Every structure is written in C-alpha cells, then in structure tokens.
Structure 1
Amino acid sequence: MRRTILAGLAMATALGLAAPASAAPTDEVYEVHYVDTVDGAKVRVEVWRDTSFDAGRQPVILTYSPYNSLSEPESARDSLGDTYVPKGYARAVADVLGTRGSTGCWDYGGRKEQQSGVDVVEYLAGLGWSNGKVAMIGGSYNGTTATMVAARGESARGLAAIVPISAISRWYGYAYGNGVRYFLNSKVPSDEGFDTPLAFDVGFGKTVAADPMGGHFADTMRDRAAECGAVEHTEEGYSRNPDYDGFWLDRDYRKDAARFRVPVLLAHGWQDYNVKQEEAAELYRALPVDDPATATAEGVPFKLMYLTQGAHAGGTSGAQWAALLERFLAHTLKGVDNGIERAGPVITEGVRGGVSTAFRTEADYPVPGTRPTTLWLRPSFDGDELPGLILPPQLPGQGETGALSAKPNKGDADPTSAYLEAGVSTEELAARTGLYHLSLPLASDTRLVGSAVLDAWVKPSSATMHLTPVLVDVAPDGSRRTIQRGFLHVDYRNGLDRAEPVPGEWQQARVTLLPQDVTVPAGHRIGLFVQSSNTVWAVPGNPGTVEVANGKILRLTAGSRLVLPTIGGATFTKG
C-alpha cells in the first residue's frame, strides 16, 4: 500500500520553526510520500506544490537523487522549486533506492534502480492533482537517473521529458576510458569520480532520513546494514582489466537509445572531466528522432543539446539556459506552442586561445561541414617538416620531437632503428615512454569540433599497458594549451568485451579522444603527445615501453596517423 504523510508548514509551526520565506501559507503544501517498488522496498518522495493550481492539474518536475541528505530537512524546497512552483508546476524530489529515506539497497545504476525510477514517475503521474506529465531533471547522478528511466521506453508511463545535466549515459565510460581506470586530474583533482562506487557503498548508500519519527525509518536502518552488492561494485569498478560484461551492459542506457520516447534536453560542459563530455555527445548521436509521417514511433519527438565551456554541472546558471529550460518545460509539460522543438538542435560554446567564444547554433552533431584532416606521425630526421621551429624544452619521458605531416610516410620507419641511427642508446630509448609531434603552423583559424582519433601502430613490451595521447594547441612561443585527451588500454584495442594482450608484437590501436569545441588560431601548430602512461589522470598500466610507429610497419601500412575533426578542413603554411 502506498502511504502519504503530510508535512510542511503545520509541522514547522508545531516545532517552533520558521517557515521558508518563499512559502505561501494558504496555498502551498509540502508532502512526503512512499512509493512501492522492487523487492518490497519503498522510495521516499517529497513534493512541494501550490494547491491553487490543483483544479487545472499540475505537471511534476522530478529529481531522483542519492544526495538528498545534503539538503535536509526538505529537499524539494530548492531553487528549481522557487522558480517553478509559483508557475503551476509541482516540485518533487525522491531518494534513490537504498539512500536516505528510501528502503532497499543502492544498485549503482542497475536494473532495480531503473525500475524504482519508473515506479516513482508512474506514481506521481497518477496523483489526483497531477496532469499526468512528469519531467525528470538534475545534474550529475541526478541527471543520470533521468536518462535511465527514459531508457526504459514506453514502460515509463507518465514520463513526458528529461533534462540530464552533466549526466552519465553509460556507467562504464564514467569509470573507464576504453579500459583505463580514471583517477583524479590536473584541473580539479578532487572532481574526477574515483570515489564511485566506493563513496556510495560506504557513504550515500548508508544514509538515512533526518526524521527518525518518519515512516519506514526502522526499515531503512535495517537495509543499510546489508552488504548490498558492495563487493561486486568494487570488483567491477576498480579493475585493471575491466571487461565490458553483463554488469556494465545493465548500466548502459546509450545502448537503449532507440527505446527513448520523450523529448530530451541534454546539457553538458566541454570542460567536464568528472562525467566526461562524451556522455552527452554520444547519447545525442545515438538518439533517433521519430518520423511523424509513420504510424509507429521510432524515437524521440525531438532532441536538443546545450554545450558550454563549463566544468562538471557548470554553465547552466545563466539567463540563456534559464530561458531555454523554461520554454522546454512549458512545451513538454503544459503543451505551450513556443517553437522549442525547432530550436537548436545543438547549441555550443567554443573556446579560442583559452577564451570562450559566442554560442553557435548548429544543425546537428557531428557539426555539418566537419571534414577529417589527416596528419601522419613522422620522425624529425628527414628535416623537411619542421623548418625554423622553436622547440619547447624536452621534458622527461617526451622522447624525440617528430612531425605531424600532411604527407604520408615513405619507406620503412621502425622507430627503434631510427632512434638508434640517430645516436640514441637502447637504454635511453627504453626510458622514453612518450613522443611529441608537431605540425606546421596553421594558415588560418581552424575549428575542431568532436573527437580527434589517433590511429596508431604500437608495440607494447608487456600486457596491461596504455596509450594516452594528448592533443595540444602550440603557440608561436612554444607555450601549449590542451585541446583533447585520450585513453586506451591496449589489450582492449579490438573491443571492450575481453582483453587480448599481445606483448612484443606490432598491433593497431585506435584511440578516440574526448571531444571538444576548440578553435586553434592561425600561426599556431597542432601538437600531439603520444604517451604510454598518464599518471595524473589515470591509474597507470604495467611499467614498460610502448613503441609507436612513425612510418610503415612490415611494408603493410603507412604507419600511425592523427585524424582531426575540422570544420571545412585545415591548411598549413610551408614554414
């Protein structure tokens, strides 16, 4: 049985507490509900609404969150509620299964958590004062729950729209970059996410609601003492050889993109290195849009993507975002004909020389007009690619400075023999785990939107080794700005299903770097660090060397190349 407990101003008065300044005593109510869900568990839902809108029915703006212990005692009284409750929207905030006031076990985005979200949406849509439409919104984990419910397709009855902000669309990609375990970063070291799932199994997954007299408090205390899959979470979430198995498939909402049936407004920051920016970009690409001319629904009615230069959950606080969100919710929840479905569909803020550029509206992503610019990795010994170049100091582990050339490589160029011929000892070569390659200066400003791809031939000295390229914008004075980063566990070069180590042999390894929207100024060069280890951003692989081919391998291939997603292509000066 579902039970409703009324709370709010009457309780606050009885306890001698001051009512929130934004509350209207005669019309607003604050309610706590408990919703039945999987395994007999109950999800706690708090609802704040203005009852003067009940007669005309109200839509619901829902956030399904594991973080509500941080917003005690009334989590639904937030800035979103302050904005939308006076406009006739009910504001609902629910505790994720196994957290705070909800009973059961935290499921790390798994099937039980997904079903519990579906149950909450259906419950809210069926309340007497509701108009039957629920939009899910939130940042980070709070937006991930919106995505997971939409991925359940038509079984999520009552779901009318989702607004995932800096949200995960595939849990594997949150923990791993193509098999490489992410760990901290050099921009905001505490904001990467290495604590997940650990912090939830021993932290948020152990929280209880602050009101011990509330319903089901004893049940939540009992459930928090359970193991709740923590061992499996740890084994899967912190592995050095993380196969993409059934555990991760259950937590992959992107694979179910064809099941989405509601309008989607994705928001993300290009500089988000917690929930990586590809989580939104790749979900957007995967979502099919329904053809209204057919009798059946093949996808979502429409989709929008709003990309800023913000970091994690940043960039969605300005007037432009507020106006876009208000139009989206008015259209999807109240049926207002405001043309939002024809906006965008991609709104992106770029960056040039470290300074944000104006927002651009694009017809799609990848951006129409994007052309691949291919640059070949070549050694610098031929001398015809780097005339007059001011080289930056060689840092430990960078190795020989080579070229990014528009010309394909000629002849065999085994890097080992090339370095030996140049007088580099085998001991020194073994110590060099990275290579630094530079292009000629760009002839004009060049915009890169999307992911660069390093298609390399490599020879790792042992199993469990990495390839972690970094693409940089190099100014004429040699100073550098990072454009994109990439990560690949070489043993997973053929796919994530299982590791296939082949140490000591040449093998092709393709790394898709994390996407960006960056304009490189004219006169600047494109630089590429080809690293076998990135100890700042990831848990390192095994020690050893990864040789990277700067030319043909066994006369079968032209060697390693970098493919850039450039708008209209790129041209370079002749030095």
Structure 2
Amino acid sequence: MTLSVRRTGPGPIAPTATQFMVRMRDGVRLATDVYPPPGPARPGPVVLTRLPYDKCGEYTFMPRVAAYFTARGYTMVVQDVRGKFRSEGETLLFVNEAYDGYDTLDWIVNQPWSDGVVGMWGDSYYGFTQWAAASTGHRALRAMVPRVTGTRLGELPVPAPGQRTHDVEMSVHRFYPLSMFHDRDMLDWEIDWTRRPLAAQVEEFFAAVGSRSASYDLWFPYPVSLRRFPAGSPFDAPAVPVLMTIGWWDNCAPWQWSDHREIIRKPAWARNEYLLLEAIDHENHSHFERDPLVRAAESDAALPRYLDPAIEFFDVFLRGEQKEIPRVRWQLAASGDPAWRSDSVWPPATSYQKAFHPAGAQAAVGDAPGGSLDLEPGRAETATWTHDAADPVPSPVGDAFAFLAEYPDERALAGRPDVLVFTAAPVGEPLDLAGPIGLDAVIGSDGPEMDLFARLLDVAPDGSARLIARGQQTIIEPGDACPVTVDLGHTGYRLNPGHALRLTLASSDAPEFVPAPGTGEHRWLAAKTIPNRQRIRLAETRLTCTVLPRGEAPS
C-alpha cells in the first residue's frame, strides 16, 4: 500500500513583522516575529502567542490577528514553539512550554518597545502554552485569554488507581504526534481506521517519511507521564486574570471545564476568572453565522467576534482602563439571538436541575422516536444492544473540530440496531438549558470493557435531530451491573416550542473515537474484533439537565 504524505513547511514572514531568533536558557533559539503598532516607537503592553502551527502560515493567520491587535496599540509577538517550523530544538509535545514561555517573557520585558506588561492569547495548543507560562509565575504575565483549550489538552485517558472508568480515547490523541508534532513541518496523511492493527499503519508512515515521532514513541503503547508543568501546577502559581473562552460544541471543552472546576477550588484564581461561553466549535465556527468564518483567508468578517473580547480584557488588565467586565457571558443557542447574556456565576444562580428518565426497552432499539424520555422513573427493564467494532456507529461529522461547519442532521443514526433511542414529548413553550448535563446509569457487558456514548439531541417538528451536548466514558470490567456517570458537558441552548429532547446511547462513535475491539486488547494493537452484548437498566438511569425558570433568558 502506498502512503500519501503531504508536507507543509513555513510560510513567508509577513512584511509587517521582524523575525528574531530568541535564545532560551539551554541555548536553543526560537523563531519570534514582532509586529509593532503604528506610530512612533515607544514602550507599551505586549500580546504574546506561542504556537506549533506556523507563525507565518495560513491556518492560524497570525499576520491578520497581529494587524488587529497592533491597530489597537498593542505590540504583537508570535513565536514558533521549540522544534516547529523556523524554531530550533527537539520536536516534543508539551514538555518545554513552561520554561520556554518564561524565557520568552524575559526577553520581551528587556526590549525597548516593552513596558514590562504582557498578556497572552490563543486557541488550543497556543492556549495550553499560556497555562504553561503561567505555571512559572513570571512577573510580566498580567492577563491571559486561553480559548478552546485546557491544561490537560490531548492527555491520553488512563484510569486512576482503583478507578473503573476513564475518558474514551479520541483518535486524535495518538494521531496528533504523527501529524502536528512529528517534526518541524505539518504532515497531512490518513489512517484507514478500518484496517487493523492501527499501529502497523503508523510503522508504514514512519517508513514513508524516514523518521519516527518522539512524542508518539513516548505514548505508545503505554504513555510515559510527561512533565507538562515542571515548575508546578499553574493553579499553584500566582493567579493571573484569565478570560476562558469555552465553546458549546468544542470537542476539547471537557479539558477546559476541568480547568474551571480546578479554578473554583483555588480562591485566588477564582477571583480572577472570567468566562466567555460561546456557541462555537473548536475551529470557531459559530452556531449563529453561516458566512465565511474566521479561518477563511479571504474574509476578516469574523475577526471582531474572535478578537474583541480579548481586546476588551487586555484594555482593562494590561492598560488599566476602568471598565467592569461581567464574570460570565454566555450565548443561548437556537434562540435566534447571538447577544451575550451576563451573570455573576455559572450556571446562573436561578437555574435548577430537571431529571428525565428513559423508558421502553423494546422500542428503544427500533426506529425513532424509540422509547420515551419521561419526567418520572419507569418500570424495571433492561435495554440491550450489540457493539461490533467491525461495524461501529459512524461519527456524524468528518472533522470533529469543525462540527458546526457541518452541523449534521443525526436522525438516521437512530435507525441503527446498536443505538438506543429515547424521545421526550415536544415542549409547548421554550425550555432553556443553561449549565451542566449528566447521565447516571447502571450498565453491563459480556466484554472486558465497555464504552458508553450519550448524546442529547434537539428533534425538530420535521424530524431532524441535531446535537445539543454529548459525553462518553470507558468502563473497565463492567460485569453485570456497574454504576457509571457520564458528563455531557455544559450548554446554553433553547429548545423551541414543538421541539423535543432525544437521548441516544451507543458504544461507539468512530472514527472520532477509537472503538473498543471487544477483546480487551490495546486498541491500536488489536488485530481482530469480537462483538459484545451491552445492557443498561432503565429504571436506574437518569438524565439531569440544568434549566432556567420560565422566561428567565430574554429572547
């Protein structure tokens, strides 16, 4: 089999930038672009971004971002992280970002155009690099805006000692070191997720490119614990004002909600946390927009939505402007109104829990609407289905990071025999969801492990079904009856009159998640699969939604 690999190297340095090779403490030099604001040169606040996706490339369009910041008086500094594109050093995930961030901050504050005050901004991995720098406690870092990210970003799911559950392994977990962090360039290639063992295809890739990935080898077959924060946890470092942007449809949101839970346990950090809860996916497509979006090089139409909250935040915490910023701003998807709603806490103080109970085991394995989703528990019954990794439930989108670019109608998946379906009665008036959603259940399997995927959908009067929230867990040795809690994340979503909630349950979502082979073997090493019989006790299953009182969220 011939493997096709497309290699993308660094783009041209923008004419508005000057590149410097900034020396780190071990002598490695990192390529760093400086974009000055217009007008006479004088010391001022700086916005720093450290990223692995090419500081000059089209994917992250940093010259356009820099132009937005510099037009508002900020110097913008953008750096290729160690081992990527124009920077020197070993290409290795996570482990060098803390002290490289500290040394870059040190370099900035010693430049004539810096007044010693720095903010950091960026998405995903360049949100992680902000947390890494914060963990060092550098005095110059005065504010940061980590978007769609998390301190545990990309962390491989491993059960804690004594625990029987953990997160399901995403395909991107091991693929990311084979594409973004293999070497200096970006490598595009495709794994055939139906051809086993998956690890054999990785060896074919190494042979094709003539080198191995150090990050992959550290994680395969079993992960070495990487010291992401050698200076200590960022939450034990001095607190920095932080604006956390979390997307309702961001597939990486669980890591950021984990950070939020850690922050609220730390009083100093809790006093400095601000939340921007936006109806977006990881690639910043918006639920409310259908125009060319932020990554379209031909359009800057979405840049204000993308960058204005950061500008406002930096104006207050880097420049000292006297302006009150709400602690929580959030969008209510499906309301037709993208306006920000403000609260002092999340979820809103007036919200309350509303429980739904699935019923109708036999109907649940049939076509939609399947079983029911009721406000009272039903009779004791067990619903069963078969998980077959050779024929898994297909992921509804081709690119999970850009979910809203497709925003698919998922009604067809309800017709599969390996998907349980439970549909509530249509609502007669708007039902506003605002906060966490969770599923508690008692499950079982005849296999050595079991994945449980839960999806909450909005079913329109025409029968179309679109995702509101989702969650998944791997259960080790589930046996006959194992209690499990599935976190479906948070949402701000309006269920409009005539629409209904639908809960679907399954044991696969491939290829976004690597399916359990049914044998108990390592998912990347398994050469064969065995179907497993799964079951769930409906009377002991509860879907809990956080809702607002009637009329609480304005139209």
TM-score by length of 1: 0.69
Q: Answer whether contact 1:140 1:313 (CA < 8 A) is retained.
A: no
Which residue does the alignment assign to 2:152?
170
Q: 1:252 to 1:167 in 2, by over 3 A?
A: farther
Match of 2:347 among 363, 366, 370: 366
Aligned with 2:254 (options 259, 278, 286): 278
Determine the C-alpha separation between the residues in 2 that align with 1:206 and 1:480.
36
Cα distance change on mapping 1:90 and 1:380 into 2, 3 Å = closer
Separation (CA, whole Å) in 1 of partners of 2:237 and 2:86: 31
Residues 68 and 432 (structure 1 numbering): CA distance in 2 closer, same or farther, change over 3 Å? Answer: closer
AA of the residue aligned to 1:358: A
**Higher CA-based Rg:** 1
Q: Is the 8 A contact 1:378 1:403 kept in 2?
A: yes
1:18, 1:522 → 2: CA distance? 52
2:291 aligned partner = none
Aligned equivalents of 1:283, 1:267: Cα separation in 2: 12
Q: Is the 8 A contact 2:382 2:535 kept in 1?
A: no
User: In 1, distance between residues paired with 2:371 and 2:13?
Assistant: 68
Q: Deviations 1:475-501 (Å, cap 9, x if unpaired)? A: 34433222112111112xxxxxxxxx2
1:161 aligns with 2:149: no
Identify the residue that residue 128 of structure 2 maps to in structure 1.
144
**In structure 2, the residue corresponding to 1:486 is in which secondary structure?**
strand
The one-letter code of the counterpart of 1:270 is W
Q: Which amino acid aligns with 1:304?
A: Y
1:143 and 1:231, CA in 2 relative to 1: closer, same or farther beyond 3 A? closer
Question: 1:261 corresponds to which residue?
Answer: 239
Q: Which amino acid aligns with 1:180?
A: V
1:497 aligned partner: none
The corresponding residue for 1:303 is 273
Secondary structure of the residue aligned to 2:87 is: coil
Which whole-Å CA distance do the structure 1 matches of 2:273 and 2:107 have between them?
26
Structure 2 gap segments, 5+ residues each: 1-11, 159-164, 188-208, 287-293, 295-301, 385-415, 519-530
Q: How does 1:281-430 map to 2 (within 5 A)?
A: 281-288=257-264, 298-299=268-269, 302-314=272-284, 317-319=302-304, 322-337=307-322, 339=323, 342-352=324-334, 355=336, 357-379=338-360, 394-395=366-367, 401-410=370-379, 412-415=380-383
Per-residue CA shift, 1:219-261, capped at 9, x if unaligned?
Answer: xxxxx9996733434416xx7xx8xx733x7479996435352
Question: Hey, what does 2:47 align to over in structure 1?
Answer: 61
Partner residue of 1:573? none
Q: Is 1:531 aligned to residue 480 of structure 2?
A: no
Do residues 126 (structure 1) and 126 (structure 2) align?
A: no
Mapped to 1, the partners of 2:115 and 2:280 lie a distance apart of: 35
Look up the match of 1:196: 176
Determine helix, strand or coil for the equivalent of 1:67: coil
Q: Secondary structure at the match of 1:469?
A: strand
SS of alignment partner, residue 181 of structure 2: helix
CA distance in 2 between partners of 1:63 and 1:141 (Å): 10
Q: How many residues align?
A: 454
TM-score, normalising length from structure 2? 0.71
* Pair 1:313–1:303, CA change in 2 (3 A): farther
Q: State the Cα deviation string for residues 388-412 of structure 1 (Å, max 9, x = none).
A: xxx99945xx8x93222222344x4
Query: Which amino acid in 1 is paired with 2:381?
Result: A
Q: Secondary structure at the match of 2:23?
A: strand
Query: How far off its partner does 1:568 sit?
Result: 2.9
Following TM superposition, by how much is the alpha carbon of 1:175 offset from its aligned partner in structure 2, in angstroms? 7.5
Counterparts of 2:351 and 2:93, CA distance in 1: 37
Shift of 1:439: 2.0
Q: Distance in 2 between matches of 1:458 and 1:305?
A: 35
SS at match of 1:310: strand
Classify 1:51/1:456 alpha carbon distance in 2 versus 1 (closer, same or farther; 3 Å).
closer
* Counterpart Cα distance in 2 of 1:160 and 1:18: 28
Alignment of 1:241-260 (within 5 A): 246-247=225-226, 250=228, 256-259=234-237
- Please state whether the residue corresponding to 2:49 is helix, strand or coil: strand
How many angstroms does 1:40 deviate by?
A: 3.9
1:548 matched to 2:536: yes
CA RMSD of aligned residues (A): 3.8
Deviations 1:520-542 (A, max 9, x none): 12333221111122225321112
Deviations 1:115-170 (A, max 9, x none): 211211122123244211111112222222112222x152x231111112222331
Match of 2:546 in 1: 565
Q: Distance in 2 between matches of 1:329 and 1:181?
A: 36
1:18 and 1:468 mapped to 2: Cα distance?
44
SS at match of 1:351: coil
Q: 1:196 to 1:246 in 2, by over 3 A?
A: same
Q: Measured at CA, do residues 472 and 254 of structure 1 come closer, stay the same or move farther in structure 2, by a change above 3 Å?
A: farther
Say if 2:490 is the partner of 1:515.
yes
- Report the residue type matching 1:333 in the other structure: L
Q: Any idea what SS the aligned residue of 1:451 has?
A: strand
- The one-letter code sitting in structure 2 at the alignment partner of 1:283 is D
1:301 Cα shift? 5.5
